[in-house]
A and B are shown apart, each in its own frame.
Chain A
Amino acid sequence: MVSSSVVSAYADPVDDKLVIDGQEMITRAPAPEGHPFKEVLSGWLFREPETRELEADSFQNSGMLYVERGQEIWNTVEGSKGKSCASCHNDAAESMKGISAHYPKWDADAKRPINIELQIDKCRTQNMGAEAYKFDAPEQKALTTFIKYQSLGAPVKLDLKQGEMQSWWDRGKKEYYTRTGQLNLACASCHEASMGKHIRADHLSQGQANGFPTYRLKQADMVSLHNRLRGCIRDTRAEMPKPFSDELMALEVYVTWRGTGLSVETPAVRQ
C-alpha cells in the first residue's frame, strides 16, 4: 500500500456504475456545446473504492443523517407567521422532486441567480417571518441536503435563457480561467489541465458540483458548495470571496453548467 502511493501512476477515472437504492446515476454524460471536455464525469469516478461504496449504500452513507434532519426541519414551524415549509409545500417528495437539478435559477426579485440555500432564506424571510440562516449553519446544510436529495438521479440542466443567466455564466467562465493567489492557479489549472492526475494524495476530478452538499470523510461533516469553492481558492493562497457573493454565484452557475447531464448525487460522499 505504501509503495503504491509513493509512485502513483496516472490513474484514470474508474469504469464503474453507481446505483443508489436501485436507481442508476448518470456519472458520465456527453458534454454540452462549448464545453472543453467531450464527456463530463462525476467526481465519484475519481474516488477510492471504499469511498465509492459508501455513497452507493444509503445505510452506510452518513449524509443520509442530514437528509433525515432536513426532513424534521421541513416539518417544523418557525417564525412569526406560524408556518413550516410543509405548511405551503406539503410533501417534499412530490413538491420538491427534480427541482434542484435546475438550480441556480434566475430570481426576478433579487435580479440575480439564486441557489437552494438562498431560496430557503427567501421563503424563511418572506413566507415564514423567520431569519435567514447564517452561512453553513447546520440547519442550512441539512435542509439544503434534504431538498437536493428529492432530485437524486435527475440530470443537471440549467436554463441560461432566464433573465440575465447568460451574463452570469460568462462572468463565471472568466473566473474559472483566472489565476488567483500567490500560487497563481486557476480552477482550470487543477480541474482541466491536470484532471486525472494526483496532487499529493488527491486524485483530481473535473470539480463537478452535482453531489453537493457532499459528506466529506476528512471533516466528518456535510460540506456546502460555497465552502468547497472557498477552500479551493484558499489553497491558491488567495483571499476567499464571501459566501453567496456575486463572485461565487457566478462561479456556481458556470461550474454547475459544466456538469450538465450528470445526476444530482446529493448527498455524495467524498474523501
Chain B
Amino acid sequence: MNLAGILVAASAAAMCGSVAFAAEIAPTDVKFEDYAVNASLTGVAGNAEEGAKVFADRKLGNCLACHENKAMPKQLFQGNVGPSLDGVADRWSPAQLRAIVSDSKKVFGPETVMPGFYSLEVGINVRKDLVGKTVLSAQQVEDVVAYLATLKE
C-alpha cells in the first residue's frame, strides 16, 4: 500500500473513532513527550485484569511471543526476542509504558523489532482487512499498561 493510501485510511479511522468515543485519542494524535505519553488514550482507567488477557492472547497483544513474564507461569512458550518483563514497572513509569506499547519506535528508535500496537506507521502491503486499523484498541492499550504497572519485583 502506498503512503497516500495509508494517510487516507488513517484519517478515516480517526474520524470514526472521534464519533464513537468522544474522549478517545486517535492513533495519529497521540502526543509523545520525552519518551512518554502522559495523557490517557481514552480517559477511562485501565483494567489490569483485562490487560493480562490482552497481553497473553495470541490474536491480540501476543506479548509472550517476544517477552518472558514470570507472573504468567501457566503460559507456555514465552519468547525472548525482547527483554524479560519481570519488574518492568520498576524500570518504567505508566506514561513511558503507554508510549512503548502505543508505538515502541518513538522510544527505542525506528530499528526496534517491537511492533507499534496503537500506531498507523506500519509496514507495506498490510492485509486488506487491517488497513487503517491498529493492532490494539485505545482501551486495550490502557488495560495492558495497567497490567504492566503491576509487574514489580
Contact = CB atoms under 8 A, between A and B. Distances in A.
Interface of A: 2, 5-10, 178-186, 189-190, 193-194, 197-201, 204, 234, 236-239, 241
B7 interface: no
B135 A182 contact: yes
A178 B130 CA distance: 19
Interface size class for chain B? Answer: 20 to 34
20 contacts: A5-B77, A6-B76, A7-B68, A7-B70, A8-B77, A179-B124, A180-B125, A181-B123, A183-B135, A184-B122, A185-B123, A186-B123, A194-B81, A198-B77, A199-B65, A204-B81, A237-B126, A237-B130, A238-B123, A239-B125
Interface string B87-130: 00000000000000000000000010101100001111111101
A206 B148 CA distance: 32
Contact of B79 (A8, A181, A182, A185): A8
B75 interface: yes
B73 interface: yes
Contact of B80 (A183, A197, A237): A197
Is chain B's binding surface mostly helix, strand, loop or mixed?
loop
A178 B79 contact: no
A179 B73 contact: no
A237 B135 CA distance: 10
B130 to A, nearest CB: 5
A200 B64 CA distance: 7
Contacts, number: 98
A181 B6 CA distance: 12
A194 B79 CA distance: 11
Contact of B123 (A9, A184, A234): A184
Given A7-B68, A179-B124, A198 B79 contact: yes
A7 B78 contact: yes
Contacts of A186: 123
Contacts of A200: 64-65, 77-79
Contacts of A201: 76-77
Contacts of B53: none
